[in-house]
Amino acid sequence: MAKKAAYRKKRQNKMGMLLAVTVVLMMLIVVAVKSVELKQQRAAYMAREEVLMQDIAEEEARSEEIAEYEKYTQTKKYVEEVAKEKLGLVYDGEIIFKDEN
């Protein structure tokens, strides 16, 4: 009987070890799969960040152009151009030559 008890105990130990190894392997597989998913997600986020940084740079350049144009619209030269082109105004004594076409 002692032999049967020892055999049973060995068998239980082997089953316990097999079960523990199986659980550990399953956990490793899950971690590996999630790691791959996270790497892919990180790559997608990095690409998105690059696109957004480029958009920010473009918008900053556009904002700078708008600020420069705003300064230009406040100059006397701009006012004269608008007066001549859109309103047809001229200075006193200024002669305008037009084509006969």
Q: 42 in a domain, yes or no? A: yes
- State the pLDDT at residue 14: 87
Taking the chain, what is the end-to-end CA distance rounded to the nearest angstrom?
126
Mean pLDDT of the region 62-67 = 97
Q: Residues 29-53: what's their mean pLDDT?
A: 98
Domain contains 85? no
Q: Is residue 12 part of a domain?
A: yes
User: Which residue type sits at 81?
Assistant: E
pLDDT of residue 38 exceeding 80: yes
What pLDDT is stored for residue 91 in this prediction? 83
d(CA 91, CA 84): 9
Q: How many domains does the chain have?
A: 1
Is the residue at 100 inside a domain?
Answer: no
Q: Look over the chain and give the mean of its residue pLDDT values, rounded to a whole number.
A: 90
Is residue 44 assigned to a domain? yes
In a domain, 47, yes or no: yes
Q: Is residue 81 part of a domain?
A: no
Tell me which residue range forms the domain holding 33: 2-63
* pTM, full prediction: 0.55
Q: How confident is the model at residue 33 (pLDDT cuts 50, 70, 90)?
A: very high
With beta carbons less than 8 A apart as the criterion, state whether 25 and 32 touch.
Answer: no
Question: Dmax of the chain from CA atoms?
Answer: 131
> Angle CA(41)–CA(47)–CA(48) in degrees, nearest 5?
90
